[in-house]
């Protein structure tokens, strides 16, 4: 799969990730990786368990999330 952003710019680069918001393929130059805490059920006696996860996004979705 090719990077969607690169194809829009007339280039070709192999996608290494898929945007978790829109599903577009993105290359290493366009992907943004950030940590996100996920909450889920835990063992008896503890209501919530936080886990660190990775979230990958494309430039378009990243900009949309950062704008007010």
Query: Taking 80 as the threshold, does the pLDDT of residue 1 lie above it?
Result: yes
DSSP the chain: -B-HHHHHTT---B--EE-TTT--EE-TTT-EEEEEEEEEE-STT-SEEEEEEEEEE-HHHHHHHH--
Q: Under a CB-based contact definition with an 8 Å cutoff, are residues 25 and 13 in contact? A: no
Residues across the chain = 68
pTM given for the model: 0.77
Instruction: Please report the pLDDT score of residue 51 as a whole number.
Output: 78
Domain segments of the chain as ranges: 4-66
Query: Taking 80 as the threshold, does the pLDDT of residue 19 lie above it?
Result: yes
Both structure tokens of 41: 């059920």
Rounded-to-integer distance, Cα 48 and Cα 59, Å: 32
């Amino acid at each position: 799969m090719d990077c969607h952003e690169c194809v829009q710019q007339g280039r070709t680069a192999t996608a290494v990730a898929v945007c978790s918001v829109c599903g577009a393929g993105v290359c290493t130059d366009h992907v943004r990786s950030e940590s996100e805490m996920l909450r889920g059920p835990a063992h008896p006696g503890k209501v919530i368990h936080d886990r660190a996860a990775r979230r990958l996004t494309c430039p378009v979705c990243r900009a949309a999330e950062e704008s007010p």
